[in-house]
Amino acid sequence: MALELLPKIDSPADLRKLPTNKLPKVCAEIREYIIDVISKIGGHFGSSLGACEITTALHYVYNTPDDKLVWDTGHQTYCHKILTGRREALARIRQFGGISGFLKRSESPYDAFGAGHASTAISAALGMAVARDLKGDKNKVVAIVSDGCMTGGESYEGLQNAGQIQSDLLVILNDNQMFISQRVGAWGSFLTKLLTVGAVQNAEKKVKNFLARSKMYGATITRIIKRAKVLLFPGMLFEEMGFAYFGPVDGHDIERLVEVLKHLKDMKGPVLLHCVTKKGKGYAPAEADAYTWHGPTKFDPATAKFLKNPTPKPPPPSYTAAFSKFLLREAELDPRIVGITAAMPEGTGLDAFRDRFPKRYFDVGLAEEHAVTFAGGLAAEGYRPVVAIYSTFLQRAYDQIEHDICLQKLPVILCLDRAGLVGEDGPTHHGVFDFSYLRMIPNMTVMAPADENELQHMLHTALALNGPVSIRYPRGASVGVPVDDEPKALPIGRGVRWKDGSDVTILAIGNRVHPAVEAAHLLDDVGVSAGVINMRFVKPLDLEIIKEALSRSTRLVTVEENVLQGGFGSAVLEALEGTEAQVLRIGLPDGFVEHGAPNILYDQVGLSAPKIARRVASWLGREFKEKEVAAAI
C-alpha cells in the first residue's frame, strides 16, 4: 500500500483537517510505516501497532499539545511520535543520537510526561489536572494506561485520589491482554451508546438513591444490592472509586472512538474509558505471538523471519539464560526455593522455572513493592525466595527491601537482571544505582559476578546464607568462560587477585572485571605495571585484599558500572579514610546516560578497556597514545 495520507501529516493539526472517514486509512498507513521502519532497525513493535486507533483518535479529538496526553509505558507511543512531527526521526529511534524509544519531555512538547516505567500515568495526569484547576486553565488531560499497568499499585493509588479530588480527567484503559472480550460487539456497543447518551448514567443515579434509602433495611440487603449492582454494571470497581465508567469499546474502531471521545471530552469529574485492543494489530505474526513481537530485532516483513548479523561464531549464552539454568539446578535439589517476578518471566529467565515448578513460581504483575514483601513472608516461613527483577525496577521497592527484608534479616535473594548500561532502552532502564541504594542498608550482602561462572557460584552462595542478598548481572551475552561442573560456596566478602602489578592496582567489580584486565594489559604495553583484583563483593568489602594491594602500591583504581556517588568506589574510599592511599574512581557520571548500543556507551562514559587504560595512564602521568586506544577497540 502506497502512503498517501501520512506524508502530509506533520502535526496533529494536519490530522484534524481530514474527515473522520479518512482516519482508518491513516491508521493503516501508520501501521505499514511502523512495520517497515522497525523491520530494518528493531524496536518496540506489538504495543505500538495495537494502540494506533486510540492514539490517532486522541490527537484528532483533543487539541494537543495544549491538551495533555500522559502515557504509561512509552513503548506504545510510536504512532504518537509519528503524528507529532517525528515521522522521519523514527528511522533512528533507540539508536545513539536518535530519538528515544519512550516519552521524553525534552524531545517534544507533545510528550507531556516521561514514560519508561509502568503505572505512573494516572498519578502524573491527576497532578496536571489539579495544576490546571489551580491556574484556572481549561485544557483537558488524558491518561492512557496499558500493557498490564493496572497490576501496579500506583495506578490504584492514583485512581482513588482522582476519585476523591474529582478533577476533570479522562483515563483510557487500553486493554490489550492478548484477547478480545466477548463484550466487544453488540452488547458492548449497546452499553457504550447508552452510557454516552446518558441513559444508564440516569439509571445509576436511581440505583445510588435506592441504595441510600435501603439503609433502613439493614446491612444484609445493602450487600446484596451492591453485589447485584456490580453484576449489572461493568466497571463498578471504577465507579466505586469515584469514576464514571464507559465501555468496553472496540479500540480498533476509530470512527466509533472519535464519536465516544467527543461525548466524553466535556464531561465533568474523572472518567474511565475501557478500550479493548489487540497487541500487534495489523501484522499477523505479532497478533499470534505477543511476547516475541513485543520488541523484535530486525526482520523480514514478508516472511516474519528475524535477520541475524553475520558473526564468526555464535555468541555465548546471555546472563539471563545462564541464571535460568543455574536456578533450575538449585531448585531441583532444594524444594524451599521459589521464584518470584514482576510481570517479566521471559525477561528475567524465570519462564523455565515457571514451566518446571509451576507451584513454586509466582508472577505478581507490575508490583515490585509487593513482590519483595511477599518474598519476605515466604522467607519468614522457611522458604528461599529468589526475586528476579530488573535493577531499574527494583528501585520501586526500596522501602520494602529496607523495612521488610533487611531489618528482619530475612533470607531473600534479589537477582538484579539488566544491571548497568542496558543499551537502546536508555536512561529509564539503565540499572546503574543498585550498588549505591543497596550497600547502605544493614544486613544486606551485595555481590556482582565477573562472568557466568561466578554467577553460578554466587547464586549457590546466596541460597545458603541466612540473610538478604543481592546479585547483579548485565543484559546480553555473557563472557563465554568455561563453567565449572558444580557450583561452590564462595567465602563471604572475599575478593581474588587476577593479575599482579607493582605500579597500581585496579579494584574491579562485576562485569567490568574482564575489561579491567584488558586495560591492565594495555597499560603493560606502555610501561605501567597494573594489577587487577576481582572484588566480587561490594558489601562486605574485602579489607584484607585491599591492604595487601596497598603493600605493593599506594595507588588504587576502582572500576564499576554504577554511579560514583555512593557506589563501590565510595565504599573503598570510606574504608581507606585516614590512610595514605591514593584512589582514582572510575564509574558512571552524575547524570543520566542516554540510549545507544552498549559498546558506544561504554566508550562514551569511559568504561571500555581502552578508556580505562587511558584514564589510569593519565592519572599516573604516563602517555597513552590515541593510536594505541584505536587499535585496542
- Provide the annotated active-site residues: 279, 368, 396
Whether 53 and 255 have beta carbons less than 8 Å apart is answered as no
DSSP state of 243: P
Burial of 312: CB neighbours in 10 Å, binned 0-12, 13-18, 19+:
exposed
**154: nearest Cα among 116, 113, 122:** 122
Measured CA to CA, the distance from residue 25 to residue 4 in angstroms comes to 9
Any bridge partners for residue 539, and if so which? 446
Whether 525 and 567 have beta carbons less than 8 Å apart is answered as no
Measured CA to CA, the distance from residue 493 to residue 515 in angstroms comes to 22
**538: nearest Cα among 498, 569, 514:** 569
Q: What are the angstrom distances between the C-alpha of 182 and each of 172, 189, 239, 290, 559?
A: 19, 11, 21, 20, 56
Q: Which long-range contacts (CB under 8 A, 24 or more apart) does 403-406 make?
A: 404/372, 404/373, 404/376, 405/372, 405/373, 405/375, 405/376, 405/379, 405/468, 406/441, 406/442, 406/443, 406/444, 406/468
Residues 6+ apart with CB under 8 A from 132: 138, 139, 141, 167
Measured CA to CA, the distance from residue 177 to residue 16 in angstroms comes to 30
Measured CA to CA, the distance from residue 524 to residue 243 in angstroms comes to 68
SS3 content of the chain, % helix, strand, coil (to 5): 45, 15, 35
Measured CA to CA, the distance from residue 106 to residue 632 in angstroms comes to 36
